[in-house]
Every structure is written in C-alpha cells, then in structure tokens.
Structure 1
Amino acid sequence: MTRELKVLGACPLDCPDTCSWVVTVENGEAVGLRGNRDHPYTRGALCVKVNRYLEHSRAADRILHPMRRVGPKGSGRFERISWDEALDEIAERLTAIVGEFGGEAIWPYQGTGTLGYIQGESGQAGRRLWNALGASYHDLNICAKAGNVGLRHTNGTPAGMDPETFALSKLIILWGTNTLTSGHHLWKFIQDGRAAGAHVVAIDPVRTRTADQADEHLAIRPGTDAALALALMHVVLDEGAEDRDYLENHTKGWESFEREIRKYPPSVAAEITGIPEQDIRALGLRLAHTRPTGIRATMGLQRHRGGGTAMRTIACIPGVTGDWRHPGGGIAYSTSAHIPIQADVRPDLLDKPVRTLSMTRLAEGLADTADPVKCLWVYAANPMGSTSDQNRIREGLLREDLFTVVMEQFPTDTVDYADIVLPATMQIEHTDLHAGYGHMYLIWNEPAVAPPGECLSTTETFRRVARRLGLTDPGLHDSDLEIAAQLLSGGHPALEGITVERLRAEGWARLSVSDPFVPFTEGFPTPSGRLEFVPEGQGYVPPFSARADGPYKLAMITPASHTFLNTVFGNNPELMRRAGGPKILVSEKDAADRGLHDGQRVRVFNDNGEITAELQVSDRVAAGVVVTTKGNWPKFSPGGANANALVGERDADMGRGPTYHDNLVEVAPLREPS
C-alpha cells in the first residue's frame, strides 16, 4: 500500500517571502511540492524558480560524496573519498594552519544560500566551531549592509512596516524593487490596496515587470534616489503638507534637515535623476496629500556608492509626512530586525578578539601576504559566481598554499577551485527554522526525506569536524532540536507562545505582535527615542557612475533574474533554457551611437574585465544605462565570466556594502574568431 505524507517546510532561499511549503512524500520519496495554502503570506503559491525544487534536488549533477582534488586548481577534477578520509585531511590541515599561522588564518566564508537559523546565515551556522578555533570573523555584508546602517541612523533599526499592511496604503511607492521577480507574494497585498483605491508608483532605472503593472513608472538614473527623495519632500513643504505635530513630538534634527531639503527643488533633482521635473512635482503633490503612503525599498536600491545615505534619506519621508502614525504608512526594507531571535554563537570560546574579513573584499583578502588567509572554508556561497572582482578572486583561489574546503550541493565554479568538497543536504533533507525578511512569521522546516548519498547538513558536518579535532565543548555538539529550543528561549514578548513543539505541529506562527502591526508607536530605537533626520549637507552622495568623464560612458546595473536566485538554479537545464543566456539591454540611442544592432553578440568591458552577451536594443532602459542580470554561472557563460567580472571591489558609503549597481562600462561588437 502506498503511504502518503504531507510534510510542512520552508523555502530557504535569499528572498523576502520565505514561503511555507508542503512536501508530498510517497514511500520515502518527495513526489510533490506546493505553497502552503494556509499560510497568510504564501497563500499557496511558490515562484517559477522554486516550483522546480524537487527536480533540482534529484539533478544528475548533484554532489553526493566527499571529494578530493586530483587536477590543477580550477580544473574541477576530483576523486571520491570517504568521510573519514575527508575529516582526517581537514583536521590535519586545520591543526597545522592554526599551529603555524594562528586561527585567524582561517576564513569561514558563509553566504546566503540558505537563510535558516539552524543551518544557515540567520543563525551564523558554524560560528561556534570557528570561535573555538579562533578563526577570523566573516562580515556578511554582501546583501543589505549599507541600507541597514543608513536606516539605523534614521529609525534606529532597519525594520519597518509589516508588508501585509500595504493592503491599507493609499499611495504605494515601489522604490528600486522589482516585486514580481524578487518577492512576488507582496503583490497580492498591493493588489488589495489598489482595489481599495491605492495608486502604485514604480521608481526604477528599468521598466521591469513590476513597472509594467504599476500605475506610473519613473525611470531614475542609478544611484540618484536620495536626490529624488529630497525633491519629493521639497514639494511637500511647498504645499505646507508636512505633519508639524509629528515633526515636533517624534523627530529630531528637523531644522537642519529642512535646510537640506530646500537645496533640492524638483528642477535640481530633474537634472540629477533624469526624471522630468513635472513628473517629480506630480508625485510630490500626490505624496503631500495621500495618507497613508507606504514605501517599499529593498536591497538593490542601496548597492551603489551612496547606498546608505539613499536609504537614510528615503526613510526620512514618513517622518516629514507623519505616515508612521498610520497602518499602511512608513517604509518597508526588511522585517528581520523585528525577529527577536539571537543565535548563541558562543563568543566565550574565543581566546582573544579576532580580525574581521569583509565578504565583499574576498579578492583583497586572498591577496594579503602580510597576514595571509591559509584556509578558505566556503559554505552556502558561490563567490566565483556571486562576488565582485571575479578575475582577482580567481587569482586568489588559484593559490597553491590556500587550503580550500567547499560544502556544496552542485559543482559550481567555486567548487572547481576546492581542495576538499563536502556534499551538502538540500532543504527537504534537514531540519531548520526560518523567518522571512519580508513578513512577520516564523516557519519550521521538517525534513521530508532522507539525504541522498552521503550528504550531510551544515550542523552535522560541523559536529563531525569538531569531534575529529578533539573539541569537547558541549555547545559544539548540540543537536538541531537543541539549537532550535535555544533560539526560541529568549523570553521576548514577540515570541510568547511560540515553541519548537508548536512550530513542528503547525508549521508556522505569526510573531506575537499587533495585527495590523504599526511599529514605532512607542518611539524609535534611536539614542533620542525619535526619528533622527539627516543633517544638512549629508542628504545625497553621487554614485561612482555619475563620473562618466573617462573612456566608459554607460552606467551598468545587474538586477535579479526572473529564473535564477543569485546563482542558485544557474545549472537547472529548464531555467537556463528560459533565461536564454547572458543579455545586455541598451537604449536605441546608445546602440545607434556605437553602430550596434539588436541580437548582435557584443563584449561589455571596463578595466576590471569583460563579458560576452547578446545585445537587446530596448526602450526599457534610458540612454546612458545598460542592464544585465546576475545569476549566470561563469562556466556556462560565453568567455567564462558573468557580470561580476565588471564589478570592482569598492565600498558603499556605509557598512562597506557592495556597489553592484554602480559601474561604468562600454559595449562594442564581439569579434568572432576567424
């Protein structure tokens, strides 16, 4: 008799929606996957990418056994070895490295391949082991750091609106975010708001899928968002529509900030942003007289030189309009800081403070000869495909004196440079606890099937490494359920009634907060307890791409693909077919100026490197802007490089955030070999 089970779980990927899903299991095999219809945010739907997750988990190129390199670094040639052999070699090499160079010569390079609190980034999985070894601290600043820091300056936290309350907004501004590609579940709440009369505006350098569905699209020059925000507030002041009571009783620094706003009338902002003055004024008038206004601004917006300042300045808008008073008013960036879970990474295991290595400075870190990295341990990350300065990273990974361990599910470009490869489980095969950074729910992931081959979870791998190293502290050997119980034991009111037992039984739970949730009604978590405005002279930082006085004239941005999630699924044959290979969108004017035509194969280049792509002449981008999506694996791309070969290791103004959307390039015909 066939035995069918329904197992509740969660999507682990780097997306704000963190869907609750249901896996159908028959005779020990996962045969079906769908979104959980009972979950208020997921509402039964998954995305085009995750719909293929079960197929992906059974792919022919899945890594199933430990492997040791037998060819040159970068060749991707390995031999199968046992777990005992892998652990013995790892223990021997780590012991030698720590003995000769100290623990800080180990760089645990963790990424956002899974966001779980047990297995992934949210809980800094593995940090207990790294602390016991005295390894360098890994600053995972690749995604949201500049915006996080900017928002902390204004609001004291990057947390903001509950995205579900966009259903109550009357003006919805989607600022630098392509909702229908990167977090489409929010669209249902936007539609609810629109049905009740909301006006939807998309502010984006590209006319995206989302911009097509909005009531209005403002095509902004990349990196000039703060200037637009200041101009919109200028119109609010011209209308006398600022909330004087809110300014007096809930904010700090208004007089200085008002002087900053006055420097940016719509005419000035039009020159900076490329948006017609009348369009800026029209949106400013709508903003002045529409309560509540909800602003959705996500991570792509802050990946440029002035990214932190941009988020900080945009976050001032609801302070001027008083929108924080209302359900459906304010700004939504990430809900992560509303989640009152703090992973215990056991800092007491460190003998002394250690250095911090920046995720976005991998090439620089691997090139350091004064204080060298001798072991790079990569997990839930694919830096050869996802990190800037790709060519210099390749040089670093080719170092023969660098011991590289990669925990992976598939043979990525990074795997090709490993000395030891360890097979990793996928989400349907291990236990985890998740919280969306785009909603207010905790979601439990129960393993649905046994891992294939010899795949191990992140936690089990690190438990085995700790045992092989002879490390005996009990915290290094806690089970997944023990870790989960520790995560939920903080006693915060928002966790009241939420236990491991409840989550395993029900699959998910909303945080114990008001519904609708209106943050900051009791004040802001800033030093003053008030929203703190940007000081005069600090409201706008021009992007690097504003300096088009050299040989490169086109500002390149690299937004998310509709078919890949970062580089996850970049090897899925069907999704690769749908993506159709690397493309570069160029305006008709820029193509004509360069003698280029639609469908032509071109090289896109700057001083950092070059890529090959198919040219698409498009009215979706303005003159001076070119667009190519991230996510292609270099090994599957013509020329062996993706867009990150063009992105330099430069820092945003805050948090050392990356500048993926702030690079100048040129485009020229590709000279095919004769």
Structure 2
Amino acid sequence: MDMPEKLTACTQDCPDTCSLVVECHGSGGLTLRGNPRHPITRGFLCSRIRHFPKRLQRTDRILKPLLRTRGGWRSIGWDEALERCAEKLQAARREDPASILHIQGDGAKGVLKLVPKFFFGRLGATAVSGALCDAAGIAACQADFGSLDCNALEDLANARRVVNWGRDLSRGSVHLAALIRSLRRRGVPVLTLSPGGDGNGPYTDHRVRIRPGTDRFLAAAVLKILLDRRGWSQAAVDRTANADALRELLQKTSLEDLLAPCGVSPADAERVAHWYASPGPTATLVGWGLQRHPFGGENVRFINALALLSGNVGRAGGGSRFGILSLRNFNTDWARWGPPPRALPVAGIGRAIQECSDPPIRFVWINGSNVVNQAPDSRRTAAALEAVDFVVVVDAFMTDTARCADLILPCTLMLEQEDLVGSFLHDYVHYAPAVVEAPGEARDDHAMVGDLGRRLDPPVEVPEKETCLARSLTSPCLDVSLDDLRQRGFVRAARPLVAYEGMRFDHPDGLARVPTELHGEPPAPSEYPLRLLTLIRRSATHSQIPPEDQRRPPLVRVHPETARAQGVAAGLPARLVSPLGQLVVEVMEEPQLDPGSVVYRRGDWMHLGGGANQLIAANPTDLGGGAAYYGQYVRLESIDRSN
C-alpha cells in the first residue's frame, strides 16, 4: 500500500533548491516530483533528482564503517570506529591541534552541514581556504559591489533583453532555463557569449563565439565602444569610486588590441554594445566557467563593470547575476568559532599537505567532498593523503577519495536526513525532513561528530540538532518559527527584488568599484596547444556518477580542424597529455567548438580510467583562492594500433 505524499526539499549542490513531493510506495520505492505550489519549482525537476532514489538503493553503497587493514577493508562497528577516531584525534590534539585538518565540500547543502565545521573549529584544527567552484567570482563581486548580491530571480521578468555570458542553460539550472524560455516566448531576446559546444541553442536568439578565458577583453572592448560612442551612464559613474581610472586605461588601449585576444570581430563587439546601450534594462547572466581561468576574477569584474557603467545595475530588470550565497538568509553565528590557526588552499591541497610543517598534518577528516577527484593535481592529493597518519572519509560510496582513507564512515544522503536549506539562485528557504529511513548503519554528520566529541578528553559538545535548526531561523530576513516552517515547507526571505537599488552599494562609502588593470592572456605552450575545458555534465552532480555510467575510455570533443591538426580521428582512442600525465580518451568532432580547446565532461573517477583533474596543475585563480582549472593546456596524440 502506498504511503501519503511527503514534502521535502533538494539539498544537492544545485542552484534550484527544488521543493520536492515524495511518494513512498509500499514496495520501498520512491517517486519524486516537483512541488507545483512552489513559485520557483513549479511542478518539475531535473532528471538528476528524478532518478536520485536509485542512488539511495544502490547495492555498492557503504552501509557500515570500513577500516583499512593489510588484507583489505574490514567492517567494524560504530563504537570501534569512533574510539579509533577519538584515539587518533586526541593524540594529534595533544601534539598541536593544527596537526588536524578538516576538509569539507558542498556535496550537500544545509545549515546542519555547518556542524562539522563548528566541531573542528572548537578543536582548533587547520581548515581549508578558497573554494573549488565559485571563489573567484564571489571575490570579484565583493570587490566591485562590496557583497555578493543580485536582483531576485523573479525580477528577470522585467528585463527587456538578456545577455547570457557563458552559462550552459541546458546543463545547469532547469528553472532558470525555463524562465529564459518563457521570456523568449514573450519576445525578450537573448544573446549568448560563449566558446561554443554548449546546449544553449534553444535559449538563444543571437550568439557570439569567444575564445575561452578572454571574457574580460570583450567586456573591456564593449566598455570602450560605449565610452567612445555615447559615454557611460553618468548616474553610474557618479556612484563608482574609481571610474576615471578605468576610463584612462581604456582610452590608451585600442579597440583592435582588446578584440584580438578574444577572437571577436568588431561587428560582433558592436552588436554586444548595442544590447547594453539600447533603451530599457538589460539583464546579465554571468557564467561560472569563465571564473575558473587564471584571470577568472578579472573576467567577472569586467563583465560587472559593463553592466554597471551601461546603467543596468541597481534597476529592475537589470543587474549582473553571478549568484548569491545559499546560507545568506539564515543566522549562522551559532556555528562560528573564531579563525582557524591556519588554512591550507583547497585548490592546491595535495601540495599544501605535503609541504605543511610546524606541525605536519597527522589527522584528516573529509566530509561532503570527493576532493581527490575534484581538486586539481589529483594524484598528488591522493599521495599526500596516503602519507598522513590517519585519514577519515565520510561517504556512501568507494570514491577516489574514500580509497585513500584509513577509515570510511557511512553517511546518510538526501531524503534520509533532516535539514534547512537555502538556494544560490533564489531567496526561498526550505524545511527538508527525512522522508525515508537511512539504510544499514549510515549516520548523519551531527550524529557522527556529536558522538565523537563526547569521547574526547575534555569532551567537545555540539549544540543539539533542534537548537541548530531553530537558531538558524533567527535571521532579520526571516519571520518564521521552526514549527511553522515544518508545517509550511518553505518561505521566501524578506529580500528586495532589486539589488543595490538606487546604486547604493555595500562598500563602506556606498560606492561601487571597477577594475583598473587588464592582464594579458598567456599564449598556449607550443608543445601543449589546446586549452582543456572540463565542463559540467547534464546527467550527474559533480562526481556522483555510478560506475556503470562512466564511459571507458572517456570522451573528449574537439573542432574537426583540431582533430586533423593533432593527427587524431573521431571514434578512435587517443592520448590526452599534459605535463602531469596522460589519459586514454576517445575523440569526437564538434564543429561549434573553439578550435583551440578540447572539452572533457568532468566528474568520472580515476580508478575507473577517468579523472581529468589528474592532468590539471594546482594553480590558483587571481582572486578568491579558486582553482584555475581552465588554465591547463594539453595535446592529443594518436595511438598506434598496429602494435
């Protein structure tokens, strides 16, 4: 007999944060549907979440703590597992708490995901700095506007036109994509700027192809065209602290010099300028890929400057939309415990662990992250973890990171754990109850670290789960109790529809800032002529890919001219080579791609023959301590099949 439907929310690392209707069948199966009453979810979901119940029921899921032994993995009970953790943690704590390293990712969202950070903060452990995904863009927006903010998603309905600067709407947010479709049906045109190879065809009226990583040059060129043709918005200039410095930079740089690096024609640059100069508001969508280049922060800053100085920031229907912080509408003060004694850069975590001294890292706890797979220089990260005295990985599957652990602790997954979750796309906050029982001996983070903390001497207490949830709602932009939110399922935070309205910005003086330097784009090395773009997949979140869905060899896409120049053929295996190593891949030709690039859909696992990050050097972005994934150059080599 089927059970009544239950309301919960998606906690995956996805901007949409959908409200979910869960139908639990008597057979143990689940059906997920989008909540039709939710103003953003509107009754539909992406395929990743519709198929998520299969992930919960996989036979290869880890359901008991696993201890590494000389003979392989051995199942142990939770008491033995946590006693071993406590013993190792206590020894490292006595020597120096900074010898403990906590690595936490965003594999799942929610306020209770702050509990491990609180726990290791209380211990005085070493933390990580920067981020693997959006750090450069966040830092860029903070430098420009004093904060990370943008017009509400609902405000896009007021746009007269949309410039999509690099977002792949077909593989990202399905609800943003649906909104763009509806705008186009109403006659709102969309201009897409990208290197090609994305799925933006159904969401685009006009397209301009740009060389990867050179967005700052095109934005600067358009700013120069506007400056020379009609001048910038005087109202915006008056609210910008350093507009004169940017004007001086552009006046001494020719339009030809700005367009040459990005490979955009003067006619296409004029087209972009026309969009920003036309009457009525222009909304700008800023992609997350363009900030994963070495000058990713500068890319975002010049796009922000274009939106600002064309008069499109601080007005309805305009704005520059990079994103918002998913926890910004909650009170997270309860989880803060002062600054860590030191922080290691997550973008180069393998090298940082190896070079760490005074004290060296002795104990590592990893949760919410397949960091070996996801961070650059994967093999070095794996080697660094394998050399640490004791590594604990919290996971549900035997990932590349879990394989480096001394102890694996099985965790609950979405739908099996209670939490409150926000979005980095919209301002709704949700109550996400557990709607199914966790299988086997899987535990949530709060239960793990709470039990572990009680075993230490002196003990480290974490707040009760109910306290964490209730205190998180004591926010100036929320007027709802925990009991009320449990009944309602979701509420919208009291945030304005227009960010920086009246062009009042969040710097202390209330003024915006614009970039005043424009760094050149380094040329490709002669022996590695192709830029490696490790782009998102449509069918999986990060590395959450079932083994049977991982293609062997991995598929890469190149322009037909590139395949000929590299001496490789479509449909045949080849070697993808960087200074760090090589992978056997299969080549596919795609005429829409930039000829200087090779596209690899990221997330597959090293021990299954994939893992592009093992080829990518661990270099930081210019701002925010992000990972400059797209600064890596590679080559393709044919494989002699006659031997």
What TM-score, normalized to structure 2?
Answer: 0.95
User: What is the SS of the residue equivalent to 1:429?
Assistant: coil
Matched, 1:427 2:414: yes
Higher alpha-carbon deviation: 324-333 or 211-220: 211-220
- The match for 1:609 is 581
Question: Hey, what's the Cα distance between the residues in 1 that align with 2:173 and 2:200?
Answer: 11
Quote the residue 1:632 is aligned against: 604
Which of 175, 200, 207 lines up with 1:217 in the alignment? Answer: 207
TM-score by length of 1: 0.91
Deviation at 1:54, TM superposition (A): 0.6
Superposed, 1:496-515 pairs within 5 Å as: 497-514=479-496
For 2:356 and 2:142, the matched residues in 1 are separated by 35
Listed as ranges, the gaps of 5+ residues in structure 2 are: none
Match of 2:375 in 1: 387
Hey, what does 2:448 align to over in structure 1? Answer: 461
In the alignment, which residue of structure 2 is the partner of 1:411? Answer: 398
1:571-609 Cα shifts (integer Å, max 9, x gaps): 164x54xx6752111111121112221111111111112
Give the CA deviation at 1:411: 1.1
Q: Which amino acid aligns with 1:622?
A: D
**Alignment equivalent of 1:644, drawn from 607, 613, 616:** 613
Aligned-partner Cα distance in 1 for 2:503–2:311:
14
The CA distance in 1 between the partners of 2:232 and 2:642, in whole Å, is 63
Q: CA deviation at 1:95?
A: 1.0
| Contact 2:566/2:635 (<8 A) preserved | no
Distance 1:467 1:87 in 2: 10
- Pick from 485, 501, 510 the counterpart of residue 520 of structure 1: 501
* Structure 2 letter corresponding to 1:655: G
Equivalences for residues 352-371 of structure 1 within 5 A: 354-368=341-355, 370=357, 371=359
- Residue of structure 1 equivalent to 2:543: 567
Please state if 1:268 is matched with 2:265: no
Counterpart-to-counterpart distance in 1, 2:561 and 2:515: 38
| C-alpha displacement of 1:192 | 2.8
Amino acid corresponding to residue 553 of structure 1 in structure 2: P
Q: Secondary structure at the match of 2:471?
A: helix
1:280/1:335 CA distance change after superposition, 3 Å: same
AA in 1 matched with 2:369: A
Q: Which residue in the other structure is 2:472 paired with?
A: 487
1:534 aligns with 2:534: no
Residue among 524, 535, 538 paired with 1:548: 524
Determine the C-alpha separation between the residues in 2 that align with 1:354 and 1:180.
Answer: 42
Percent identity for Structure 1 against Structure 2: 26
Match of 1:203, SS? strand
Q: 1:307 aligns with which of 289, 296, 308?
A: 296
Displacement of 1:470: 4.3
Residue number in structure 2 paired with 1:89:
84
**1:56 alignment partner, SS class:** helix
Identify the residue that residue 173 of structure 1 maps to in structure 2.
Answer: 163
Q: CA deviation at 1:429?
A: 0.8
Question: Which amino acid is 1:507 matched to?
Answer: G
SS in 1 for 2:88: helix
Contact 2:195 2:593 survives alignment (8 Å): yes
Change (3 A) 1:3 1:391: closer
Cα distance change on mapping 1:581 and 1:178 into 2, 3 Å: farther
2:105 is aligned with 1:111: yes
**Are 2:420 and 1:438 aligned?**
no
**Contact 2:118–2:336 (CA under 8 A) maintained in structure 1:** yes
Q: Is the 8 A contact 2:103 2:127 kept in 1?
A: no
CA distance in 2, matches of 1:430, 1:224: 43
The one-letter code matched in structure 1 to 2:495 is: V
1:57 equivalent in alignment to 2:56? yes
User: How many Å apart are 1:345 and its aligned residue?
Assistant: 5.3
Alignment correspondent of 1:333: 322
**Of 200, 211, 228, which residue of structure 1 is paired with 2:218?**
228
Q: What's the counterpart of residue 42 of structure 1?
A: 41
Separation (CA, whole Å) in 2 of partners of 1:263 and 1:195: 42
2: CA distance between counterparts of 1:621 and 1:607?
24
1:358-390 CA distances to partner (integer Å, 9 max, x unpaired)? 211211122125331111111110012111001
CA contact (8 A) 2:534 2:630 kept: yes
SS at match of 1:527: coil
Question: What pairs up with 1:228-267 in 2 under 5 angstroms?
Answer: 228-240=218-230, 242-248=232-238, 250-263=239-252, 266-267=255-256
The corresponding residue for 1:596 is 568
Cα gap change, 1:246 to 1:517, in 2 (>3 Å): closer
Instruction: Judge conservation of contact 2:18–2:45 (CA < 8 Å) in 1.
Output: yes
**How many Å separate the matches in 2 of 1:196 and 1:376?**
53
Task: Give the root-mean-square deviation of aligned CA atoms.
Answer: 2.1
1:23–1:32 Cα contact (<8 Å) kept? yes
Moved more, 584-593 or 211-220: 211-220
Conserved in 2, the CA contact under 8 Å of 1:433 and 1:445?
Answer: yes
1:35 & 1:71 partners in 2: Cα distance?
47
Task: Identify the range of structure 1 (213-222 vs 106-115) with the bigger mean alpha-carbon deviation.
Answer: 213-222
Following superposition, the deviation at residue 498 of structure 1 comes to 2.4
The alpha-carbon distance between structure 1 residues 670 and 383, as it changes in their structure 2 partners (threshold 3 A), is: farther
CA displacement 1:105-134 (0-9 Å, x = unmatched): 11111011012111x2xxx33122112221
2:323 aligned with 1:324: no
Change in Cα spacing, 1:290 to 1:390, as seen in structure 2 (3 Å) is farther
Cα distance in structure 2, aligned partners of 1:341 and 1:322: 31
Distance in 2, matches of 1:241 and 1:184, equals: 37
Aligned residues: 642
- Structure 2 residue identity aligned to 1:551: E
Give per-residue Cα distances to partners, 1:324-351, cap 9 Å, x unaligned. Answer: 2431101111122782324235555x6x
| 1:7 corresponds to | 6
Contact 2:534 2:599 (8 Å CA) reproduced:
yes
Query: In structure 1, how many angstroms separate the alpha carbons of the residues matched to 2:529 and 2:279?
Result: 39
Unpaired runs of at least 5, structure 1: none
What's the counterpart of residue 625 of structure 2?
656
In 2, the alpha carbon distance for the partners of 1:487 and 1:341 equals 5
The 8 Å contact of residues 216 and 302 in structure 2, kept in 1 or not, is answered as yes
Paired residue type of 2:442: C
8 Å Cα contact 1:584-1:615 kept in structure 2: yes
In structure 2, how many angstroms separate the alpha carbons of the residues matched to 1:503 and 1:551? 58
Quote how far apart the aligned CAs of 1:520 are: 3.4
Does the residue aligned with 1:149 lie in a helix, a strand or coil?
Answer: helix
Indicate conservation of the 8 Å contact 2:190/2:204, yes or no: yes
1:275-309 Cα deviation digits (max 9, x unpaired): 22211111212221142111111322201111111
My pick for the range that moved more, 57-66 or 589-598, is 589-598
Q: Deviations over 1:534-571 (max 9, x none)?
A: 23xx1x2334xx32243111111111011121101x11
TM-superposed deviation, 1:241: 5.5
Q: Secondary structure at the match of 2:501?
A: coil
